[in-house]
Amino acid sequence: MRRAQNAAPADPHGAGLKVAVIAGVIVLAVTALVFSSSFTTRDVAEDGVIALQSESALGANDVAFKALGQVVLLAEDRALGVADDAIVAKAEAEAQAALDDLTARIESLSVADADSTAELAGPLDDVEAAGAAVLAAVEASDAPSRVLAEVAKPAFESLRDALAVERTGHAESLAAAGDVAGRMGFISQFLVAFLLPLAAIVAYRFTARRQLRLAEVQLDAQLEAEHEINRAKDEFIANMSHELRTPLTSIYGFSEVLIETGLVDPDSAIDLITMINSESAELGRMVEDLLVSARAAAGALAYTYRPVNLADEAQAVITPLIRTGAEVDVDLPAAPVWADPLRARQLIRNLVSNSIRHGGGRVVVTGSVSDDRVSVAVMDDGDGVPEEMVPRLFTRFVHDGDQALTVGSVGLGLAVVKELATAMGGDVGYQRRGDWTIFEFWLPLADVEEEDYPAPVAIPPVPPAPEPPPALTTRRDAG
């Protein structure tokens, strides 16, 4: 017994679920890493900008205080007659510009960091007021150095301390963000070095197991097909031996009677010879079907195409059958088809012989011509083919258990008809309509003028002929 029958098959849904869970975990981990990296990068950028602005504001604060000190120094020089008003005015303008620059930098820092607004607003106001007081004292020559030392210096120092706190805080945040980025880098390395190879291994293992299961299924199917072929061969050989033995036994028995009795009774002798002839023809048909089927399967069946009058071929096939007592009515048009005459004759013989042996007492062969084909219907008033066997009707060696599909044959006649019809550009079909069993085949119409083609020799019908049913309407196109 095969391994697949001993062992329980693996559950593909369970394996697929495991792979899906692992893939989901990896996807979640990578997604979390991406989001964390994004947030960390944003925080690093914000802290870096704020720290840089704080450092810049510290520099502007120092520049503004020194500019005020330069104004005070030049004002004292002017009092001593060393400097003139123009120099002092220029120094005042530079000091005012430094104060405005400091204010602008503090405001930019407050925009970048909302928490800085409340902490720096008071010191900035004090610095602006102190700067204005120093410049006013310079204009009034009212002890500007004292105002610078007592009012401006504490205000600028207070702002400097607040900016230093702001810078230090964000610098620490920047360092912390660097630590987080380092951990994220470690996690990324871990994912690349461990989880991704693990996922690749799991995916490869899942694919390998899936391919292994598929190979096992295919192997089981091949073994089953081989067993079925061997069984069909055995049944075919047994059935063929029986079917070939039947006409051989008849031929041998009838010839023995003729040898023993001689031609004492001419009528009886003619009957025996007729039966020998009929059984020999049937035996020849079986052997020919075997040869045609074998050659077709090997791709060695040759065809010689030319315009063929199906009525002439039907005459050659059906006339001997009528002499044996078969009732066959024929009405075929004198239209040529493009076919092999030997194979066309075999088509007609197989269908008519099948209807005589397995159909009813009456057989009708009729035909019709369309634009590009000639259709021939072989009909009998028998019981037809069982419904369950119709789909297998035109396959080779079709058996039902140990019985042939059509008793009295080797199960090749209809398969040969299918093979020959399709090889010559046509097709064959089966239909049960009313009380009639109908086999119809069609072949492509030959490109020959009708008046240039010899008229067929009529085959006398056996009266009374039944009214044939309409030709089949369900047939495949020539293409």
Q: Are residues 319 and 207 in the same domain?
A: no
Q: Are residues 310 and 441 in the same domain?
A: yes
Q: For residue 39, how many other CB atoms are within 10 A of its CB?
A: 12
* CATH number of the domain that residue 352 is part of: 3.30.565.10
Domain boundary among 177, 193, 211: 211
Domain presence at residue 386? yes
Q: Are residues 439 and 338 in the same domain?
A: yes
Domain presence at residue 54? yes
Q: Are residues 193 and 320 in the same domain?
A: no
Q: Which domain holds residue 95?
A: 3-211
Q: Are residues 199 and 321 in the same domain?
A: no
Structure tokens belonging to residue 338:
């493009």
User: Which pLDDT tens digit goes with each residue over 205-224?
Assistant: 888 888 888 889 999 999 98
Per the structure, the count of domains in the chain is 2
Look-up of token digits 């039947």: 246
Domain presence at residue 218? no
* DSSP notation for 293-344: HHHHHTT------EEEEHHHHHHHHHHHHHHTT--EEEE----EEEE-HHHH
Domain presence at residue 327? yes
Q: Are residues 432 and 311 in the same domain?
A: yes
Per-residue pLDDT of the chain (479 residues; tens, 9 = 90+): 334 444 444 454 555 556 566 666 666 666 666 556 555 666 666 766 777 777 888 888 888 888 888 888 888 888 887 778 888 888 889 888 988 888 888 777 766 666 666 677 788 788 888 888 888 888 888 788 888 888 888 888 888 888 888 778 777 776 776 676 667 667 766 666 776 677 778 778 888 888 888 889 999 999 988 888 778 777 767 766 766 777 778 787 878 777 777 666 777 777 778 778 777 877 777 777 777 777 777 777 788 899 999 888 888 888 887 877 778 889 998 889 999 998 898 889 889 988 888 887 889 999 999 888 999 999 998 888 888 888 888 876 654 444 443 444 446 778 888 988 998 999 999 999 888 999 999 999 987 554 444 444 343 443 444 454 444 433 333 33
Distance CA 380, CA 363 (A): 4
Distance CA 13, CA 309 (A): 63
Taking the chain, what is the end-to-end CA distance rounded to the nearest angstrom? 47
Domain presence at residue 194? yes
Question: What is this structure's pTM?
Answer: 0.44
Domain presence at residue 65? yes
Domain boundary among 211, 227, 251: 211
Domain boundary among 195, 211, 227: 211
Domain presence at residue 240? no
